[in-house]
Structure formats: structure tokens, C-alpha cells
């Protein structure tokens, strides 16, 4: 079976042994899912059903981002805890997609379940000089990764600072993106210490790392990585991991 490999812009044979593993980028549970989410998820539900009709075992991992800036802001707005907010919209997600007859994934890992994995990865990136620390957080240095933008078929000059990445004067480059943000305000995730800045409360923002580590922690590397390639932030994961696996995105 051939699939379209967005990274290499060509059709490629889907290689697997006894089963196909798919990582499907999940939702950030600060609100109800919308039609854009439904489109992506239904497309790969159809792929899964086809493979299973051919007697192929399919394992799907789909994450929930249950901590980030949007979640914290919405929880503060509604005067509820982040746990209460994310629990509500996670339940709503299952309600809505069950009604759409989408088969449930094999695993639904959450960002908050893999904080240590994220910290370990960030430490490695700092050690390899792919990331650096400012007073506001830890940032990935886009200039260190020459193929940044290859996935969405855009070069660095075409990417507009501030459209997806928050502008921060402390960054070395406006396009550098946050791996971990520091905060003096306790929230759902507050650590008294981090490997980066001791004794400073830290609040992780995991739009970048969630879709990578929590999907693969303890699992095989997926044959298919499914997401929305039109979103420029989808360049972030490939830059971080330098992944060798096939990226199938729509």
C-alpha cells in the first residue's frame, strides 16, 4: 500500500511488519472540538478501517494536550481549576466523536503524564546547543536546524514572526519557539525546581512536545504521523526530534 509522504512530497510504500502504528495529533482540551479536528480524525479513522479490513492490526496513539497557556487562560476566565476544565472537554471529545462513529484510539496519553520525558528531552536539546535558556523560558533555536519549514514547504524567510510563535524580546531570533516557559504563578503544573533554573517555579507549555513524547513513550515508533501540515507549528516536532519516521499529514 502506498501513502503520500508529505515530508518528501512523494508517494511511498507503507512499511510495517505485523501491524501498522499511527500517531494522530490530538486536541488541546480547553474547548469543544471543531469541524477541523473532525476532518483530520475522520480521515485517519477511514485509513484505519481500511487497513483493518485487510486483516492488518492497527495501533493508534492520540494525545490530549491537557496543560498549556490556552487552558490556563480559559480556566482563569471560567474560575475553575485546569483539571476541571480539561476533564470536561475530554469527556465532551469522547461524546462527540462517539456520535460520529469514530473508533477509539488504542492509547490516549496526556501531556501531564509525561512531564519527566519532556524535561529529559529539553535537557538533551540544551546540551546539544539546539536550545537555550532565557529569563522567560527555554527556546529552540530555529537557525540550528537547516531544514526547518521543510514539512510545510516554507523556508524561514517566508515564516512571519508572531503569527504562531509568541514574540519575546529575550529570544535570540523571533522565530525561535518555546519548549518550556517560566512562571511565578502556581497553576495545574508547578514545579519548585527544574533542571534549567533552580528554585524558579516553572510552567510547561507543551504544544511542541506533547505531540511527540507522549505519543511515543513506551511505544514503537509510528509508521504514520497524522496531523494538519497547513499549521506552521507542525514544523516544531520534526525540528525537535529530527525524526526518521514517515510523516503522513493532511
Q: What is the pLDDT of residues 158-186, one digit of tens each?
A: 555 444 545 677 888 888 888 887 765 55
- Coarse DSSP helix, strand, coil percentages of the chain, rounded to the nearest 5 percent: 35, 20, 50
Neighbouring CB atoms inside 10 A of 137's CB total 23
Alpha carbon distances (Å) from 77 to 8, 81, 84, 91, 189: 43, 10, 13, 20, 18
Contact 50, 42 (CB under 8 A): no
Contact 11, 2 (CB under 8 A): yes
Q: What is the pLDDT of residue 18?
A: 77
Dig out the grid coordinates for 178 from the structure.
518555546
Q: What is the pLDDT of residue 48?
A: 93
Q: What is the pLDDT of residue 97?
A: 98
Contact 206, 112 (CB under 8 A): no
Stretch (H or E) spanning 81: none
Task: Indicate yes or no: pTM above 0.85.
Answer: no
Return all residues near 230 (Cβ < 8 A) that are at least 6 apart. Answer: 152
Q: What is the pLDDT of residue 201?
A: 41
Q: What is the pLDDT of residue 90?
A: 98
Contact 99, 38 (CB under 8 A): no
> Which residues of the chain are under the pLDDT cut of 50?
161-163, 165, 187-192, 198-208, 210-211, 214-215, 217-218, 229, 233-236, 238, 240-250
Q: What is the pLDDT of residue 124?
A: 81
Helix (H, G, I), strand (E, B) or coil at 133: strand
Amino acid at each position: 500500500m502506498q501513502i503520500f509522504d508529505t515530508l518528501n512530497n512523494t508517494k511511498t510504500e507503507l512499511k510495517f511488519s505485523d501491524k501498522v502504528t499511527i500517531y494522530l495529533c490530538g486536541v488541546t482540551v480547553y474547548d469543544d472540538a471543531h469541524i477541523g479536528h473532525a476532518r483530520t480524525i475522520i480521515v485517519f479513522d477511514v485509513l484505519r478501517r481500511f487497513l483493518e479490513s485487510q486483516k492488518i492490526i492497527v495501533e493508534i496513539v492520540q494525545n490530549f494536550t491537557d496543560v498549556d497557556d490556552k487552558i490556563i487562560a480559559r480556566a482563569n476566565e471560567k474560575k475553575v481549576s485546569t483539571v476541571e476544565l480539561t476533564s470536561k472537554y475530554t469527556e465532551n471529545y469522547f461524546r462527540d466523536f462517539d456520535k460520529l462513529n469514530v473508533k477509539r484510539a488504542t492509547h490516549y496519553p496526556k501531556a501531564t503524564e509525561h512531564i519527566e520525558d519532556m524535561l529529559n528531552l529539553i535537557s538533551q536539546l540544551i546540551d546539544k546547543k539546539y536550545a537555550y535558556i532565557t529569563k522567560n523560558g527555554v527556546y529552540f533555536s530555529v537557525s540550528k536546524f537547516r531544514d526547518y519549514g521543510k514539512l510545510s514547504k516554507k523556508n524561514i524567510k517566508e515564516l512571519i514572526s508572531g503569527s504562531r510563535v509568541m514574540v519575546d524580546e529575550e529570544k535570540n531570533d523571533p522565530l525561535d519557539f518555546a519548549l518550556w516557559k517560566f512562571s511565578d504563578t502556581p497553576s495545574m503544573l508547578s514545579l519548585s525546581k527544574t533542571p534549567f533554573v533552580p528554585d524558579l517555579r516553572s510552567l510547561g507549555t507543551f504544544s511542541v512536545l506533547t505531540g511527540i513524547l507522549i505519543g511515543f513513550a513506551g511505544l514503537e515508533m509510528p509508521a504514520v504521523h497524522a496531523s494538519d501540515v497547513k499549521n506552521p507549528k507542525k514544523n516544531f516536532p520534526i525540528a525537535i526530534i529530527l525524526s526518521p519516521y514517515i510523516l503522513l499529514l493532511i
